[in-house]
Chains A and B, each alone.
Chain A
């Protein structure tokens, strides 16, 4: 049975910082919300980064702009597909999907339902929830979008110089040929995730966790990395919405391969295709009737601003705000009164 916990948060830029009150009490006790003074200088040693991993533990409720609508039912493996994580390919956000002994082919059914230049909506991601446009789906498990990522992510593009060993002692070594100038143990660290694609042996490709790295050596072939756990999406069992984790590594020895190794970010989430976006004159704006009028004033204001007609712009913005306020007021029924407190001076 889960135990009771106490979290709090603060905002740092575009991130939410989650902290947890680190103490335990006996089972069955009911606790109250911690006082804010417990977060100050006196009690701060009790507040730490989350002390345990909780699947779907953080829920954010938020407002978003209806620039798209999902008009068809979402069905897993039809127009809804789970992904293991993401990486950056040529500067663009790229989603990754691995299977238990291969990677997904985004050019073949059912994954080809996500077509190039189509829009998708990502849900459940710790970073990328929202609307994206597909640039290209590959046969190598990568689904590249047009979303730019301003982040440098290591990638190794092998050219007949990467070797993958068969598993031994519950891990498999990936290394490069001498004089290739690819020092894998410098590029990746233990605990990192990588996505391997392009191996001639299907089961060598996939989403792996780096178990350890070799000690620095004078040659590349002795400076490899060891992978152990494999993470994958189910594609046939009735557990499609859970992520598989295989701790028994299974690889086949291959040498002199032209594989690509991306540093990956594990972020099990899903994407939905069949998205209708707001992009032409025949589209419908998904707004309540009353607020549609406000939107007309907003667009008029922007057009007036473009013409440097500030008087018209101000008038239209005032009408826009007036309609918004009226819309908010209309949701509250009855008279609004502020009563005097019983301790007020009479």
Chain B
């Protein structure tokens, strides 16, 4: 038996027949849910570039769960969590960043 909720069933439960509007609210609701419940989690690996400090968060990210780097505190190519600093370094590095 298929148990997952269909859009049509949700529309019946809330008493609406406006598909576009309900779909928009469902998408809003899914984002709110994932702020708390983290129903869908994924990882994305991006390249570290020499002398590039800033990297974009993934386009579809709602909430960061962990940030890891390759070879963080190890030489076995393992990905380990990296600490978040409270403040950025107060002086520029040699690249002027």
Contact = CB atoms under 8 A, between A and B. Distances in A.
Interface stretch (A11-19, A169-177, A220-228, A336-344): A11-19
Given A9-B67, A66-B40, A324 B33 contact: yes
A237 interface: no
Contact of B57 (A44, A60, A279): A60
Nearest to A31: B73
A10 B87 contact: yes
B24 to A, nearest CB: 9
B60 to A, nearest CB: 3
Tier of interface size on chain B: 35 or more
B46 A126 contact: yes
Contacts of A294: 33
A284 B6 contact: yes
Contacts of B50: 49-53
A63 B34 contact: yes
Nearest to B70: A57
A280 B46 CA distance: 33
B55 A126 contact: yes
A327 B33 CA distance: 11
Contacts of A283: 6-7
A203 interface: no
Interface of A: 1-12, 14-19, 27, 31-34, 36, 39-41, 44-45, 47-67, 122-131, 268, 278-289, 291-292, 294-296, 298-300, 302-303, 320, 324, 327-328
25 contacts: A1-B75, A9-B83, A18-B54, A31-B73, A32-B73, A34-B83, A36-B85, A48-B93, A50-B52, A53-B49, A58-B47, A60-B58, A63-B41, A63-B62, A64-B61, A126-B55, A130-B60, A131-B60, A278-B23, A284-B5, A284-B7, A289-B5, A291-B33, A299-B14, A328-B37
Closest 3 CB pairs of A and B: A130-B60, A57-B48, A130-B59
